Amino acid sequence: MEAVNLIESFSEFKDNKNIDRATLMSIIEDVFRSMLIKKYGSDKNFDIIVNPDKGDVEIYKNRKIVDDEFADDSFDYDENKHISFSAAQKIEPDFEIGEDLSEKVKLEDFGRRAVLSVRQNLVQKILELEKSEIYNKYKEKVGDIITAEVYQVWKKEIMLMDDEGNELLLPKTEQIPSDFFKKGDTVKAVVSKVDLKNGTPSIIVSRTSPVFLERLFENEVPEIFDGLITIKKIVREPGERAKVAVESYDDRIDPVGACVGMKGSRIHGIVRELKNENIDVINYTTNAQLLIQRTLSPAKITSIKIDEDTKRAEVFLKPDQISLAIGKGGFNIKLAGKLTGYEIDVFRDTDIDVETEDVDLEEFSDEIDADIIEQLKTIGCDTAKAVLELSNEELVRRTGIAEEAIQSVRDVLASEFED
């Protein structure tokens, strides 16, 4: 009965998906060889045949047939290595002296305790190997997105099950605040940490990690996956707002447009997955002033003063732009600081003389043709002062607009400051 239980234990593991066939067979053979050494003192004259398909094990004892007269003290006779001629003939009459005899060993011959010990040892070793395989598998998956099913929901964490029945943990701290899952729900997350605690793998997944957002972009934007667009940096306030700085290595590709997609088709799926988290995609630049200006969008900045030594930036805005720069809950300016690496201080520009204030070009749309405004904006002239600071020749060269039209525009903009 114990032998049957032992074979059943082996059968339970023969189809284990986490352990390769060769490794499983090797472990089973080692366990049985340990049993042979305990009983016979050596395992050198034994063959162990593991049958994975049948789920059983065969053990054969190999001995050389010697003359009966050598089975005494005058010969170095070892019953584990030798068998007398007369004893061999009882097994098979055709045997002759000098031949090798291979005899099948029954598991029952080892005794109940030995078989029980092997069974426990086998189960323990295979479970340890299975845990080690799971650990190694997920150690290589750190930073990858996985999809798993909610198995159990607790106050501080959620237990997930992958397709192979492995347990994963999604702590409350790694959940988006508006996340709500119940048993049976499918959850998408990124593998963030894998540890081995007391021999048991602990796999932590996250939905708040910037890496999760990065992988979602890779899945939705082929240009990122192919390496044509690079994500330079991601900062997040999970469930509220995220800023993603992107850069294109191909001048023909607009990195922001590619990430957002036609009518937002690519980014909408990401926003839904992140429970309507606002995502600002920013065109990365090494120009610190321009990067700060872009990260504080939609606020329009009047001027910026940067101190490279202290990594501080003083940003001046019109009173009605300050709330936009700060953003709801202060998330916009907070994330802008993290993305740019500067401590950003916002100031009202009320101390600036009205005559020196700049004016956005859009404010002149009733006097200047919309196409001309758009052409000026494409060369970085978003405000009246930006246009007036350039000469007519420079403006004509860079925009292709006729000099007469340029002069007309300058007159309109100049009159604004004269008034």
In the chain, ranges of CATH 3.30.300.20 domains = 222-282, 285-352
CA 394 to chain centre: 50
- CATH code of 285-352, in short, is 3.30.300.20
- pLDDT at 11 (0 to 100): 55
In the chain, ranges of CATH 1.10.150 domains = 355-418
pTM across the whole model = 0.65
Which fold does the domain 2-131 belong to in CATH?
Answer: N Utilization Substance Protein A; Chain:P; domain 4 (3.30.1480)
Tell me how far apart the alpha carbons of residues 67 and 76 are, in angstroms, rounded to a whole number: 13
Tell me how far apart the alpha carbons of residues 250 and 161 are, in angstroms, rounded to a whole number: 41
In the chain, ranges of CATH 3.30.1480.10 domains = 2-131
CATH for 355-418, options being 3.30.300, 1.25.40, 1.10.150, 1.10.1740:
1.10.150
Question: Which CATH superfamily includes the segment(s) 222-282?
Answer: K homology (KH) domain (3.30.300.20)
Task: Please enumerate in sequence order all residues whose Cβ is within 8 A of that of 400, keeping only pairs 6 or more positions apart, or say none.
Answer: 375
Task: Please enumerate in sequence order all residues whose Cβ is within 8 A of that of 330, keeping only pairs 6 or more positions apart, or say none.
Answer: none
CATH for 141-206, options being 2.40.50.140, 3.90.1200.10, 3.40.50.300, 2.60.120.560:
2.40.50.140
- pLDDT at 35 (0 to 100): 83
- pLDDT at 355 (0 to 100): 44
Query: What is the residue-level pLDDT of the chain in tens, covering all 419 positions?
Result: 344 455 555 555 555 555 666 777 787 788 888 888 888 888 888 888 877 666 677 888 888 888 776 655 556 666 777 777 877 777 777 777 878 878 888 777 777 777 777 778 777 877 888 888 899 999 999 999 999 999 999 999 999 999 988 999 999 999 999 999 999 999 999 999 999 888 889 999 999 999 999 999 999 999 999 999 999 999 999 999 999 999 998 888 999 999 999 989 999 999 999 999 999 999 999 999 999 999 998 898 989 999 999 999 999 988 888 888 988 888 999 999 999 999 999 888 765 444 446 788 888 888 888 889 888 887 778 888 888 888 888 888 888 899 999 999 998 888 877 65
- pLDDT at 70 (0 to 100): 64
Q: What is the 3-state secondary structure (H, E, C) of the chain?
A: CHHHHHHHHHHHHCCCCCCCHHHHHHHHHHHHHHHHHHHHCCCCCEEEEEECCCCEEEEEEEEEEECHHHCCCCCCCCCCCEEEHHHHHHHCCCCCCCCEEEEEECHHHHCHHHHHHHHHHHHHHHHHHHHHHHHHHHHCCCCCEEEEEEEEECCCEEEEECCCCCEEEEEHHHCCCCCCCCCCCEEEEEEEEEEEECCEEEEEEECCCHHHHHHHHHHHCHHHHCCCEEEEEEEEECCCEEEEEEEECCCCCCHHHHHHCHHHHHHHHHHHHCCCCEEEEEECCCCHHHHHHHHCCCCCEEEEEEECCCCEEEEEECHHHHHHHHCHHHHHHHHHHHHHCCEEEEEECCCCCHHHCCCEHHHHCCCCCHHHHHHHHHCCCCEHHHHHCCCHHHHHHHHCCCHHHHHHHHHHHHHHHHC
